[in-house]
Structure 1
Amino acid sequence: MYEKTFPNKRYKETIQFLEKVAPAPASILDLGVDNPFSKIMREHNYNVTNTRGEDLDLNTESVKNSSAEIVTAFEIFEHLLAPFNVLRDIKASKLVTSVPLRLWFSPAYRSKTDQWDRHYHEFEDWQFDWLLEKSGWKIKERHKWTNPVNKIGIRPLLRTFTPRYYAVYAERKG
């Protein structure tokens, strides 16, 4: 169903992690607009509602007012200037999130055509852990995976064994 090519490998790893840490059925608030992965979660029996594209740096009402059991945020926090604010304001007791990891051999992603499709942060795992803990979350499970590309060169070779994605399951401290 999901091949080992981008973004399908990412989707496969992400849905397997989600099913392991937060099995369906469950109600989910997925940060970000409806997207192909929202559909995959629905196909796996999750009840998914998405945010509407509001700027989550400035407006966290959707997370404050949600009654979802779980908040998911897959490749969202790297786009925010202040992810701490959203993380702090989440009312759900469970969080499943993933971020691209900072790669020492590659610059941060920056789209040349879309001003919103840029990474303000590319985290190292310890930095993302610290952000989660400081905003009130206790990490229960972690998972990293690589994202090889079909190209020739030093960077593509490094991508075959250097983790690119980092997924975390956390629960609200308390």
Structure 2
Amino acid sequence: MYEKTYPNRRYHKTLEFLHKSIPPPANILDLGVENPFSKIMQKENYQVTNTGGEDLDLDTTAVKSKNFEVVTAFEIFEHLVAPFNILKDIQAPKLVATVPLKLWFSEAYRSKTDMRDRHFHEFEDWQFDWLLEKAGWKIKDSAKWTNPVKKIGIRPVLRNFTPRYYAVYAERT
């Protein structure tokens, strides 16, 4: 399987959570363009279709299809101005998502060169839970994990034991 060290640790933990929640094979709509993790899911015998790069704040057409068992969204919702809209419109009965958690010792991520590569939201776990429930989802399972980095300093030390990622498996109510 994938090694448990940075940078693949996140992939390992995400895949572990996905396997626990949705065993392969499953027909998945993965929000976002094809990426290294969607390729990993395909290698793990999931049938994966990615969205085409459309602005998911404005165009939720892709999630309105009833052809998918599951929608996955790995580090997507923090990039949306209004994630409630797409969560509400998802027609698949199951959702597996991860979001970065808000860290008290680090500002939200913001690329200075790419307007699309910014975090409009970094959630606390209760905020993401509330958003999902308000959009009509019932949380069945969740997990958190850290994101250790091999750097020197106070923040890298804090990253060793402060959860950075939050994963949720939810079903439509």
Q: Give the Cα separation in 2 of the matches to 1:77 and 1:67.
A: 22
Q: Is the 8 A contact 1:29 1:66 kept in 2?
A: no
Task: Give the equivalent residue in structure 1 for 2:127.
Answer: 127
Question: What's the CA shift for 1:66?
Answer: 4.6
Report the equivalent of 2:55.
Answer: 55
Q: Deviations over 1:33-85 (max 9, x none)?
A: 00000000000000000000000000000001251100000000000000000
* Residues 1:93 and 2:93 are matched in the alignment: yes
Instruction: Measure, in 1, the Cα distance between the counterparts of 2:159 and 2:103.
Output: 9
For the residues of structure 1 that align with 2:151 and 2:84, how far apart are their CA atoms? 36
Cα distance between partner residues in 2 of 1:86 and 1:7: 29
**Separation of aligned partners in 2, 1:119 and 1:6:** 21
Partner of 1:37: 37
Quick one: structure 1 residues 116 and 5, their matched pair in 2 at CA, closer, same or farther if it must change by over 3 Å?
farther
1:12-161, aligned counterparts within 5 Å?
Answer: 12-161=12-161
Mean alpha-carbon deviation: is it higher for 112-121 or for 75-84?
A: 112-121
Residues of 1 paired with 2:7 and 2:107: CA distance? Answer: 20
User: CA shift at 1:113, angstroms?
Assistant: 2.0
User: Residue type of the partner of 1:13?
Assistant: K
Shift of residue 2, structure 1, vs aligned partner? 2.1
Q: Distance in 2 between matches of 1:101 and 1:150?
A: 20
User: How many percent identity over aligned positions?
Assistant: 74
Which residue identity does 2:25 align to in structure 1?
P
Distance 1:17 1:7 in 2: 17
Distance 2:10 2:138 in 1: 24
- TM-score calculated relative to the size of structure 2: 0.98
Q: Which moved more, 1:106-115 or 1:69-78?
A: 106-115
Helix, strand or coil for the counterpart of 1:122? coil
Q: Unaligned stretches of 5+ in structure 2?
A: none
SS in 2 for 1:28: strand
Amino acid across the alignment from 1:57: D
- Following TM superposition, by how much is the alpha carbon of 1:91 offset from its aligned partner in structure 2, in angstroms? 0.2
Runs of 5+ consecutive residues of structure 1 not aligned to the other structure: none
Aligned with 1:164: secondary structure? strand
